[in-house]
Structure formats: structure tokens, C-alpha cells
Amino acid sequence: MTTDAAPEPVVKTPGATREADVPADAEGRPGVKGARPPGVAAARRELITLVAADLISNLGSRISVIAIPWLVLTTTGSPAKMGIVAAAEFLPYMLSSSLATPWADRFGVRRTSIVVDAASAAAMAVVALTPWLGFGALVVLVAFAGGLRGIGDRVKHVMFRPAAQRAGVELIRLTSAYDGLARGVTLFGAVIGGLLIDWVGVTRAIWIDAGSFALCALLVGILVRPPAADAPAAPRESYFRALRTGFAYLRTDRVLLAMLLVVSALNMMAAANTTVWLPVWIRDVLGDPAGFGLVLGVFGAGALLGNVVFTAIGPRLPRTLVFAVGAALSGAPRMLTMAVTDHLVVVLVVTFLSGIGIAAVNPLLGATLYERVPDALQTRVLGIAGSLAFVGLPIGGLVGGWSVAALGLKPALLVMAVVCAVLTVGPLLVGPLRAGRSRPRPAPAG
């Protein structure tokens, strides 16, 4: 089977192709050929609202990623407790992304989104009071907020697909544009988080995060009204059976599973690079911590440029090849360059190119999830996929520290560059991606 020979999924909307189908106006006159079908404009507004709500909550979360560790440091003076709080947020986030999805299916994804965002706003508001409640309460609240955010992120992404289809937006363009905007929000949020702590104080910065969740709940509650057809009733099955169904589907879709394993490997290497390899390289080679932010900023700039280019031309490219090239370019070359040269300019150039490469990976994975997974399984499979993709993050820090301690920085970078190349390029050469088709018709849910 091939990837680039498969046609793009067609979203059939009334009046989209034939003049006879163009709806009449209020007085019964035929519509103008090429006019936007009724409902498409509203669907596009809903899609924009969904994406905006998700990005607003992400912006608030980026602010809290800076503010909460600072709150812990200023109230306890303990770096170890900062790590405990970070782990307390991430682990429930990863678990709830998959384990809570059967309940979201039964409750309804839109309703779930509204409720968990409202609860997240309340949780973050209470976090702002934790200097009086104590460290233990902070850990519990942060874990609760992380679990809520995990399921909230998943259900919003589930709503993207039907909204895009009703709006006539190609899924690959949606996932690429969203990925670029999310990267921009991440960069901006980290900067604004630090500034807000300086301008208004850490407690008010956390209150702003709470406000972002409340605004997100309001936007979805007031402006997002998907038709009933977008939310088919969840099958009447037990919680564990529903969860098993999601895992079973993902296990049988070898192409999708291979893509997720590649992304998980990239996340593991990225975490190791950001937390260990790059800071140690900056310390040993440059001796200037400003270089750390410069390298990360150049990678982000490359990713943003890549997203702009990929959004424009992505639908015309062979997906499996682009995914493999992007994955290969975004991981191993950065480690190899730091292992063989001490020249910052060379590292920056390769890092920029790696950022361009990563710009294709997440959009292609997102589009593949939307296109391959049956409607009834979207919530649980997207949740499981998110957990699998993120599982490499906590492992990465351990791998980075162990490799440098055992081998030294330069040998560790060489060894891990080879490992990364095998994990990212191997599936294209010998795995299911080599013959896999990226855009088949979804299989029946049953």
C-alpha cells in the first residue's frame, strides 16, 4: 500500500460542488455558484473558538509552569520539592489522558470539556492560596489540576475533527496550523510567565492561569454548539471493556502504533537533551547560561517556520516519507553535532534545521489519528495515544543523567545519537511504515 497515492478524505457539504445544489436565498432565488454553504461559516467559527479556547488554556498552563515552581521555591526554599510538584502534575496528566476517556465518552466530550475547565479554574484559584495551606495541600491540588488538564486537552482535540469536517478544513492543515500556534503559545507563555511574576507577583500570575481556564469553559459553553451527529452515543459497555476496546484498536493499527513509538522516542530524547545534555554542553563548552536559551529559541524559531511552510504544502507531500525525514532530522543530528563540534554557530544551524524537521511530525501524527480511528473510538484512542507519546518525557531525564554519568558527555551524545537514529528511521526501513498507508478509511468501531 502507498501513502501519497491515497486521496485526501473528502468532506461533503451541501452545495459544495454543483450549481443545482447551491441553496436558494430567502426569496427562493438560486444561490450563487461557489458561495459558502449554509452552516460552514458557523462551523468555522466553532472551530476557531475550539482552537482559541485550547490555546488560551495552554497559555495559562505555560504561565503556571513558571509560577508554581517559583512559588514552591520562595515558600519552601527546596529544589527537591520543586521536582516533587512537577512530578505530581505530570503523572496524573499522563494517566488521565487515557484512563478517564471512557467516562468522557459517556458524559459527552463537550460537557466534559466545560466541566473540567471550570474545575481546573477552581483548582488553580486554590493553588494561589497554598502559602497558607502548606506544601502537602499544594501537591494534592497540583496533581488534581494535572489530572483535569489531561482529560480536558484530550476532549478538545476530539472535537477538532468533526468541526473541521463541517467547516471544510483539511485535517492536515488544521493539525499543522494548530501545532505552530501551540509552539508559539509555549514560547510566549514561558516569557510572559517570568514577566508576570516580576510585574504582579507569583500569586497573581497563578490567578491569571485560573482565569484562563474559566475563559476556556465559557467559550466552549457559549460558542460551541456541535450538532447531535457530532456526538454519537457511547456504546453501553463497562468502563474496563471500553478501555480495552481503545487499547485493542491501537494494538492492531501497526502504522499508527509505529508513529506513536517514534514520537515517544523523540520526546524521550528531547527531554534528555533539554534537561541534561544541552545544559552540560553549554556549561562545559560556552560557560555562559545565556547560550541555553539561545539554542532553545533557535529550535523554536525553526519549528515555527516549518509549521508555516508545512501548513501551506503539507497536503501535497508523501506522508510517510515526510514523517520519517522530519523525525530523523529533529533528533539524532542535534546530538551528533554537539558530540563532534564545540562551535556554537554550527550547533545553532543544525538545531534550526531540526526545528524545521519536527514541524511535520506532530501534524502528521494528529491527522493520522483523526483519519484512521473510528468515530466511536476517537476519545479513548486519542487519550491512549497522548499517554504513549508522553511516556518518553519522564524517562528522558533519567536516560540523560545516566548516560552522562556512565559514559561522559561526548560519548553519551554519540551513543544516543545512534540509538535515536535507529528508533526514528528504523520503522520506515523495516517496520509497518515502510509499506503502510497513512490514510485508510477508518475501520468499523465494533
Q: Parse the chain into domains and list their residue ranges.
A: 38-234, 241-434
Residues 205, 190: Cα–Cα separation, whole Å? 12
> How far, in Å, CA of 10 to CA of 165, rounded?
9
Q: How many helices (H) and strands (E) would you count in the chain?
A: 19, 0
What 8-state DSSP symbol labels residue 408? -
* 126: Cα within 13 Å, side-chain hemisphere: 17
Could you give the CA distance from residue 292 to residue 297 in angstroms, rounded to a whole number?
Answer: 9
- Stated pTM of the model: 0.77
Rounded-to-integer distance, Cα 242 and Cα 256, Å:
20
Cell of 236: 453501553
Q: Which percentage of the chain shows pLDDT scores above 90?
A: 38
The pLDDT of residue 394: 76
Q: What is the phi-psi region of residue 134: left when phi exceeds 0, alpha when psi lies from -120 to 50, beta otherwise?
A: left
- pLDDT at 34 (0 to 100): 44
Identical fold, 38-234 and 241-434:
yes
Check residue 29 and give its pLDDT: 37
The set of cell numbers assigned to 44 is 468555522
Distance in angstroms between the alpha carbons of the first and the last residue of the chain? 24
Q: How many CA atoms lie within 13 A of 270 on its CB side?
A: 24
Query: pLDDT digit string (tens) for 87-134?
Result: 788 888 888 998 999 999 889 999 999 999 999 999 999 988 876 778
Architecture (CATH level 2) of domain 241-434: Up-down Bundle (1.20)
Quote the CA–CA distance of 181 and 171 in Å, as a whole number: 15
Q: State the CATH class of domain 38-234.
A: mainly alpha
As a whole number of angstroms, the distance between CA 14 and CA 17 comes to 8
Which residue ranges in the chain fall short of pLDDT 50? 1-35, 436-441, 443-446
- For 360-371, the pLDDT digits (tens) are 999 999 999 999
Cα–Cα distance, 238 to 50 (Å, whole number): 30
Calpha distance 243→249 (Å, rounded): 10
Which three cell numbers, joined as nine digits, stand for 229? 451527529
Res 233: pLDDT: 53
Q: Contact 354/212 with Cβ under 8 angstroms?
A: no
Confidence at residue 351, expressed as pLDDT on a 0 to 100 scale: 94
* pLDDT of res. 24: 41
Closest CA to 57 of 113, 109, 111: 113
